[in-house]
Amino acid sequence: MQFESSGSPQNPPHIIARPEHTVSRRDIEVEALKVLYRLHHAGYTAYLVGGGVRDLLLGKTPKDFDVVTDARPGELRKLFRNSRIIGRRFRLVQVFFKGGHIVEVSTFRCRSEFDELAEVETGPAKETTYGTPAEDAQRRDLTINGLFYNVADFSLVDYVGGMEDLAAKRIRVIGDPAVRFARDPVRMLRVLRHAARIGFTIDPAAWEEILAQGHLIRTCPPSRVRDELLKDFHSGQALPFFKLMLDSKLFYAIFPAWVGKLGASGEGRLLELIGRLDPLVQNGYPLSDSLLWAVFLTAFIEPELKPREFKDLREFIQEKIKAALGGIEFPRARQDEVSQMLALEARMAPLLAKGQPIPARLTRLRLYSATWLLHQFKTAPEAELLERCDPEALPTPPPPAKRRRQRRRRPRGGRGREKKEGGEG
């Protein structure tokens, strides 16, 4: 493996003793502490690692706490009765607690699963994936995500220069960005994500590499890229993330159909729409994935929308969604929901603007309430956004339609069914 200035597995770690750092046991969730202590008392090395350590050092509440140890999966299963092994090649152990809480424990590895997959393609893979703590730190993505908290003496163990980068408010890739991005291009998204979330600057070596190699993201499984982007929509910091996506052009590598289509005003509109998501997420409003995609796709579809009947609108929008997403995979049901919401909103908007009522056949649609939210989201003045999108203020969705027993066809000449506007459901 190739390493840069952030050290190599041979270098001793920088140990930061308890009085010299701010990570306190009080702030670590009790389940993760129980796992750490049980491992320690059984004679294993046990560290807290990843986002949990990073967020505690930043004074933020971590989303989850991951544990890493020298105990192997089989040993972990014996130590924690209420646990299971997941993953085939890269096995880790989930320890279950009351209330459905899970702590994930992995064994020190010598490389990331993505580095290993890349190596399988270019040469023989190493027999074992397990490794030393030093190797485990080096396989991680960013220096600020590679710090260990050692439950044995409450010290921090830094093999990668993470403490220095935290102090400098800098996002730096562990190892050579060219190598690490080529092996897993999703790391480019992770660089932008973490910079956006905590307002850090991106190390020039990583930034230059994203500018030069952004196109590699198209080699990743599209479903993985989609799921990664969803995390950013839900992050409450989607605006700074998408700004970086546009500045670095990584956005256009993922969505090539948008190249030359947005222009400065289109980019502005996209950021305006995405920027409205953040206050809602920050205030804990529940936002469905369909709504998030509908908001995002509005920037692509809106300039070409002309008044049409609902059914035509849906067909037109479905085509546009396919074009806008390029290779990004989308389950059929999700695509249908998003296209229906966009079409319904386009149908409702002129009526609402003129103060006209929405026909009952539209208000009865399953997605009417979600579409109402989309409309409020798009049209509310900035100062009223939270109030108008308040989940309590949404129209209640109609009860699920009862399944009617199939009637026999009427004989010829019987009363024809009233023509409905568009397909529903």
Q: Strand 66-69 relative to strand 14-16: parallel, antiparallel, unpaired? A: unpaired
Give 64 or 421: the residue with its C-beta nearer to Mg ion: 64
Q: Cβ closer to ligand ATP: 132 or 363?
A: 132
CA distance linking residue 326 with residue 104, whole number of Å: 34
Q: In the numeric block, which tokens belong to residue 417? A: 């069914």
Selection from ligand ATP, Mg ion, none that 186 binds (CB < 5 to 8 A by kind) is: ligand ATP
CB of 117 to ligand ATP, least distance (A): 11
Cα 42 from Cα 364, distance rounded (Å)? 61
List the x/- string, 274-293, binding to ligand ATP by CB under 6 A. --------------------
- Pairing mode, strands 102-107 and 92-96: antiparallel
Q: Is 114 in the site for ligand ATP (CB under 6 A)?
A: yes
Residues 41-80 that bind ligand ATP (CB under 6 A): 50-51, 63-64, 66
Question: What are 246-249's contacts with CB under 8 Å, separation 24+?
Answer: 246/270, 246/271, 248/188, 248/192, 248/207, 248/210, 248/211, 248/214, 249/211, 249/214
Q: Which is nearer to ligand ATP, 61 or 356 (CB)?
A: 61
| Burial environment of residue 50 by CB neighbours within 10 A (0 to 12, 13 to 18, 19 or more) | buried
Contact pick of 187, 226, 276, 347 for ligand ATP (by CB under 6 A): 187
Report which of 83, 97, 92 is spatially closest to residue 50, judged by C-alpha positions: 92
Beta-strand runs (E) in 2-70 = 14-16, 46-49, 66-69
Active-site residue, selected from the candidate residues 66, 136, 203, 336: 66
> Which residue is it, tokens 């140890």?
69
Smallest distance from the beta carbon of 385 to ligand ATP, in angstroms?
25
Of 55, 70, 115, 141, which is the active-site residue?
A: 141
Which C-beta is closer to ligand ATP: that of 184 or that of 337? Answer: 184
Assess 141 for contact with ligand ATP (CB under 6 A): yes
For residue 141, indicate whether it is catalytic: yes
Site residues, Mg ion (CB under 5 A)? 51, 64
Determine contact, residues 249/212, Cβ cutoff 8 Å. Answer: no
Least distance (Å) between residue 96 CB and ligand ATP: 18
Interaction of residue 186 with ligand ATP, rule CB under 6 A: yes
* Residue 203, contacted partner among ligand ATP, Mg ion, none, CB below 5-8 A by kind: none
Q: How far apart are CA 385 and CA 380, in angstroms?
A: 5
Task: Please give the Cα distance from 126 to 108 (Å, whole number).
Answer: 15
What is the rounded distance in angstroms from the CA atom of residue 360 to the CA atom of residue 86? 49
Is 66 part of the annotated catalytic residue set? Answer: yes
Query: Is 145 a binder of ligand ATP (CB under 6 A)?
Result: yes
- Give the residue closest to ligand ATP by C-beta: 51
Q: How far is Cα 340 from Cα 291, in angstroms, rounded to an integer? A: 11
Residue 201 or 356 with smaller CB distance to ligand ATP = 201
* Cβ 105 to Mg ion shortest distance, Å: 14
Residue 203, amino acid: D
Nearer to ligand ATP, 147 or 342 (CB): 147
145 binds, among Mg ion, ligand ATP, none (CB under 5 to 8 A by kind): ligand ATP
* Residues designated as active site: 64, 66, 141
Which positions lie near ligand ATP, rule CB under 6 A? 50-51, 63-64, 66, 112, 114, 140-141, 145-146, 184, 186-187
